[in-house]
Amino acid sequence: MFGKDVTITVEGAGGKKASVKGTIGFASPVIEGVGTSRQFRVWAEVDNEKTIDPVTKQVMWKLQPGSVATMTIDLSPPKAQPAAKTQTYKPVTGEKSEPKKSKSREF
């Protein structure tokens, strides 16, 4: 799950929703709880953005301490990378005239 894309949405004043995008920075391998009530810790790394509050008209951060948020994690498999193109190289033969004869030497 590490590195997966996420969208975090919070509801601000006046019911206006604000979202920021990021990636999973940590997902705990420890699952707590039993049955259908299981939980585990996850955190996401995001670039918080400033916005203008529609009620107070003040500039504020989209994500505020204590805000209730919803995190949507994109769990789709990674997209396949296109295959690298192969290139064929021809050896350099020098001049286009007759091939040079090599001389052999004994030492």
How much is the pLDDT for 60? Answer: 86
Calpha distance 96→93 (Å, rounded)? 8
* Cβ–Cβ under 8 Å, residues 53 and 64: no
Q: Average pLDDT of each block of 10 consecutive residues along the chain (107 residues)?
A: 90 80 93 88 91 82 88 85 69 62 56
Cβ contact 4:23 at 8 Å: yes
- The overall pTM is greater than 0.75: no
